[in-house]
């Protein structure tokens, strides 16, 4: 058993307090660099100081809490910004759980634990901006040119925190590893009545835009056999990938056609063009490659059989991230101790700061259930007992 | 053999002249009641007078050319308005071909032939407005309340022709039947190198709007097995109707999904809702009924198997119109005489004024080929020899 004992009421009280910055009903509107995001970070820095850690804002607003001295230590945390219409837990849970474990560790006499609240994980200026910059994946000079949907630049946004921020980034060499606790944001744990997810990987994400070109025609006078209907090309493509992926995928593999635009999109006109985006996610690079190959083959055969043209563009690929085996084992042991038989290994289908941090050090993640799998929505929630259990697992594994 | 001999050069010269009203390159912009539409009708009324007929504008701008006296006669014609971006032939061909045959008949000493250029066939104020009003399907008082996309009412539009128009409608009882020559507007004749289509029916048109509701979700964290993806519901529905319609349809049956809207239409979000419109056309009412039943059954089974809701709305049904057997026979005999083995029976997949006129008298239609099947486009065209041939068939059948 660990000697580090968290205080459930303090954990929940701080979570509720953090929700109050930008609260909308049960949800939160606290985008990166908004007034309430900055106010929340100031409040967090006070809690960090109270915990006996040294609060440091880096040049892009990532907030670290560092233990005294310069010894190596584990880093815990996540992000405290939210979606434009976000849930109250999301990244906030990992930040407060990390803070609670860090202060419980101080009370227990060690080990030293550092905490972090990354900035702009939710992508006001692009995906996971704060951890991307800190990890070295995105040079600061490039980041400064990014703009949000209103045209505001990242450089302007971070200047609003200039008075708070240090000029230097925190040295990642100080940390032995990073553990990010997070709500699952999906239905797997909740639908299986399980309480802890030990993440084995963060999936890779690929996406590609397709444009199918056929022949726009009169929907009354053009016989079916003479049509080159772009939308029917999409139907055949989507149906075929569903069939052929069945031989390739695991139950954790996902693929989505979420964006579709028809032209001219009129009742009485055979569609001459359709644009759509396919996104596919899996933890195995090789499986992502096979899916890519299957789709391209189906596109070519659909084009051939229907007299259509398939154009591909905007291919993007984010690599999968494997969690560190040693850190995972510590989480597994703690989960089995506190939730015997009631936890599972699972991939993270969503991206997290841990994917960036893995460039710098070993990383791991643990999930607590999302009720109904709902996330990025005001209705997002997790049972209080599961919030407490997740923090206990985190405390147990860092004390082990 | 007929004694009525058309003059090809006069036919083509008048077609070219009519194109000059609103010409845009090879195409025409001459919507109903536009200045150039009214100018074209005035020019047509002069040609009608020259042909020895009496030009009459009815209260809604339909232009008739009536032979002297009050004897019964056949009516030939179509419409002279165009789509907002229209082809030069479309309805204009049937109007000028009718005029040419009428004046050739006068020169031949009979029979007496009347001609008509209907107003707003192309639907500035709704489908086939001029013939719909004349046929009694649409009361004038109701028509006057219709508006175009700019908000102008039909009453205001027709007031721009008030000085030209009679106060009474032309008595349909005066006509023994109506034959409408038209370009095919589809690829069937052109792709078979045939020159004349003898229309056996104008298809019925049904359409219905569907809304599929599923569950909007995160495209990374929601496993395939737990998704209720509205777009995948549409893919299954569209694929299944293609399969099951194969046992019901003829080569002339068509069905189209031309309008699709996804929500929220984002790359990383499982679509929670999709709206689409299905339109299906066939000459047989019973087949349209069977297609309706198959679609409703597939919708119910797709909803059941995927945990989706299918809502239907805005069902609309235009009945098929059968051509008159006696008039058809006259066209068939003339076609076989002038284009032996090179004509076919076919349904009209597009609506035409003849469908409305069939409420009043026997109707028939003949088609000439559309190059590449192109219509409602500036590129619409027909070989001059086929334009001449169509008018000769018309002259031959009315002389028979």
Taking CB atoms and an 8 Å limit, are B376 and A270 in contact across chains? no
Taking phi over 0 as left and psi of -120 to 50 as alpha, with beta for the rest, A394 belongs to alpha
Say if B293 is an interface residue toward chain A (CB within 8 Å).
no
Closest CA of chain B from A158, distance in Å? 27
CA-based end-to-end distance of chain A: 8
Residue of A nearest to B205 (CA): A220
Task: Nearest by CB to B269, from A251, A252, A258: name it.
Answer: A258
Side-chain half-sphere exposure of A263, counting CA atoms within 13 A: 11
CA-closest candidate to residue A96, choices A81, A82, A116: A116
Q: What is the pLDDT of residue A1?
A: 41
Token pair, residue A22, equals 């930008």
Taking CB atoms and an 8 Å limit, are A232 and B254 in contact across chains? no
Taking CB atoms and an 8 Å limit, are B281 and A219 in contact across chains? yes
Which positions in chain A touch B355 (Cβ < 8 Å)?
A: none
CA-closest candidate to residue A395, choices A105, A19, A61, A11: A105
Q: What is the pLDDT of residue A343?
A: 98
Say if B232 is an interface residue toward chain A (CB within 8 Å).
yes
CA-based end-to-end distance of chain B: 8
Task: Provide ipTM, 2 decimals.
Answer: 0.88
Per-residue pLDDT tens listing for chain B (400 residues):
448 999 999 999 999 999 999 999 999 999 999 999 999 999 999 999 999 999 999 999 999 999 999 999 999 999 999 998 899 999 999 999 999 999 999 999 999 999 999 999 999 998 899 999 999 999 999 999 999 989 999 999 999 999 999 999 999 999 999 999 999 999 999 999 999 999 999 999 999 999 999 999 899 999 999 999 999 999 999 999 999 999 999 999 999 999 999 999 988 899 999 999 999 999 999 999 999 999 999 999 999 999 999 999 989 889 999 999 999 999 999 999 999 999 999 999 999 999 999 999 999 999 999 999 998 889 999 999 999 999 999 999 997 5
Judge contact between B396 and B4, C-beta under 8 A.
Answer: yes
B window 87-106, beta carbon within 8 A of A: none
Taking CB atoms and an 8 Å limit, are A222 and B265 in contact across chains? no
Cα–Cα distances in angstroms (integers) from residue A180 to residues A16, A315, A334, A362, B397, in the given order: 20, 29, 15, 11, 85
Taking CB atoms and an 8 Å limit, are B222 and A187 in contact across chains? yes
What residues have CB less than 8 Å from A8, skipping those under 6 apart?
Answer: A388, A391
Judge contact between B3 and B395, C-beta under 8 A.
Answer: no
Task: Nearest by CB to B235, from A219, A235, A267: name it.
Answer: A235
Alpha carbon distance A160, B72 (integer Å): 88
User: What does the domain layout of chain B look like in residue ranges?
Assistant: 8-202+321-399, 204-318
Alpha carbon distance A39, A41 (integer Å): 5
Q: What is the pLDDT of residue A400?
A: 59
Alpha carbon distance B222, B216 (integer Å): 10
Candidates A85, A258, A373: best to mutate against B (most CBs of B within 10 A) is A258
Q: What is the pLDDT of residue B75?
A: 98
DSSP annotation string for A267-329: TTEE--EEEEEEEEEES-HHHHHHHHHHHHHHHHHHHHHHT-EEEEEEEEEE--EEPPHHHHH
Q: What size, in residues, is chain A?
A: 400
DSSP state of B274: E
Q: What is the pLDDT of residue A190?
A: 97
CATH 3.30.70.3340 fits A8-202+320-399, yes or no: no
Side-chain half-sphere exposure of A262, counting CA atoms within 13 A: 28
Say if A191 is an interface residue toward chain B (CB within 8 Å).
yes
Query: Environment class of residue A175 by beta-carbon count within 10 Å: exposed (0-12), middle (13-18) or buried (19+)?
Result: buried
Which positions in chain B touch A266 (Cβ < 8 Å)?
A: 258-259
CA-closest candidate to residue B370, choices B217, B108, B187, B182: B187
Alpha carbon distance B372, B356 (integer Å): 28
Residue of A nearest to B187 (CA): A222
Number of Cβ within 10 Å of residue B331's Cβ equals 26
Helix (H, G, I), strand (E, B) or coil at A359: coil
CATH architecture of the domain covering B8-202+321-399 = 3-Layer(aba) Sandwich (3.40)
Judge contact between B45 and B89, C-beta under 8 A.
Answer: no
Judge contact between A178 and A75, C-beta under 8 A.
Answer: yes
Q: Cα A12 vs. chain centroid, distance in angstroms?
A: 23
Which residues of chain A register pLDDT less than 70?
A: 1-2, 400
Token pair, residue B128, equals 């086939």
List pLDDT tens digits, range A186-244. 999 999 999 999 999 999 999 999 999 999 989 999 999 999 999 999 999 999 999 99
Alpha carbon distance A101, A114 (integer Å): 10
Residue of A nearest to B265 (CA): A259
Closest CA of chain B from A286, distance in Å? 18
What residues have CB less than 8 Å from B92, skipping those under 6 apart?
Answer: B15, B18, B19, B28, B78, B80, B82
Alpha carbon distance A113, A101 (integer Å): 8
Closest CA of chain A from B291, distance in Å? 15
CA-closest candidate to residue A79, choices A65, A93, A69: A93
| Strand B343-348 to B196-202 pairing | parallel
Residue of B nearest to A252 (CA): B223
Candidates A223, A233, A314, A375: best to mutate against B (most CBs of B within 10 A) is A223
Q: What is the pLDDT of residue A265?
A: 92
- CATH number given to A204-318: 3.30.70.360
Phi and psi angles of residue A145, each rounded to the nearest 5 degrees, phi first: -85, -10
Residue labelled with tokens 């007299």: A307
Say if B351 is an interface residue toward chain A (CB within 8 Å).
yes
Helix (H, G, I), strand (E, B) or coil at A27: strand
């Amino acid at each position: 058993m660990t000697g580090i004992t968290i205080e459930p009421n303090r954990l929940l009280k701080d979570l509720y307090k953090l929700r109050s910055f930008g609260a909308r009903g049960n949800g939160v509107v606290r985008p990166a660099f908004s007034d309430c995001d900055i106010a929340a970070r100031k409040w967090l820095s006070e809690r960090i100081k109270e915990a006996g850690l040294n609060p440091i804002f880096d040049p892009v607003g990532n907030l670290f809490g560092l233990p005294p001295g310069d010894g190596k230590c584990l880093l815990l945390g996540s992000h405290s910004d939210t979606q434009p219409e976000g849930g109250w837990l999301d990244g906030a849970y990992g930040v407060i759980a990390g803070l609670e474990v860090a202060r419980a560790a101080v009370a227990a006499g060690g080990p030293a634990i550092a905490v972090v609240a990354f900035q702009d994980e939710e992508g006001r200026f692009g995906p996971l901006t704060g951890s991307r910059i800190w990890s070295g994946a995105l040079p600061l000079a490039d980041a400064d040119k990014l703009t949000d949907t209103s045209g505001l630049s990242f450089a302007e946004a971070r200047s609003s925190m200039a008075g708070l921020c240090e000029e230097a980034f925190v040295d990642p060499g100080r940390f032995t590893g990073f553990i990010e606790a997070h709500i699952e944001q999906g239905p797997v744990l909740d639908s299986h009545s399980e309480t802890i997810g030990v993440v084995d990987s963060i999936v890779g994400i690929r996406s590609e835009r397709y444009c199918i070109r056929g022949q726009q025609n009169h929907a009354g006078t053009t016989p079916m056999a003479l049509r080159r209907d772009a939308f029917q090309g999409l139907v055949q493509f989507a149906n075929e990938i569903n069939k052929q992926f069945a031989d390739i995928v695991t139950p954790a593999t996902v693929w989505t056609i979420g964006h579709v635009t028809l032209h001219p999109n009129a009742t009485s006109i055979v569609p001459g063009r359709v644009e759509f985006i396919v996104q596919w996610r899996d933890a195995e690079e090789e499986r992502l490659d096979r899916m890519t190959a299957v789709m391209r083959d189906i596109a070519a055969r659909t084009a051939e059989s229907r007299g259509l043209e398939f154009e591909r563009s905007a291919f993007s690929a984010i690599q999968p991230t494997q969690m560190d085996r040693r850190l995972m084992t510590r989480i597994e042991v703690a989960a089995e101790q506190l939730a015997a038989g009631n936890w599972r290994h699972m991939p993270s289908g969503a991206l997290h700061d841990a994917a960036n941090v893995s460039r710098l050090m070993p990383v791991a993640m643990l999930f607590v259930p999302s009720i109904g799998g709902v996330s990025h929505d005001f209705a997002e929630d997790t049972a209080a007992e599961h919030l407490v259990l997740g923090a206990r697992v985190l405390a147990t594994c860092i004390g082990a």
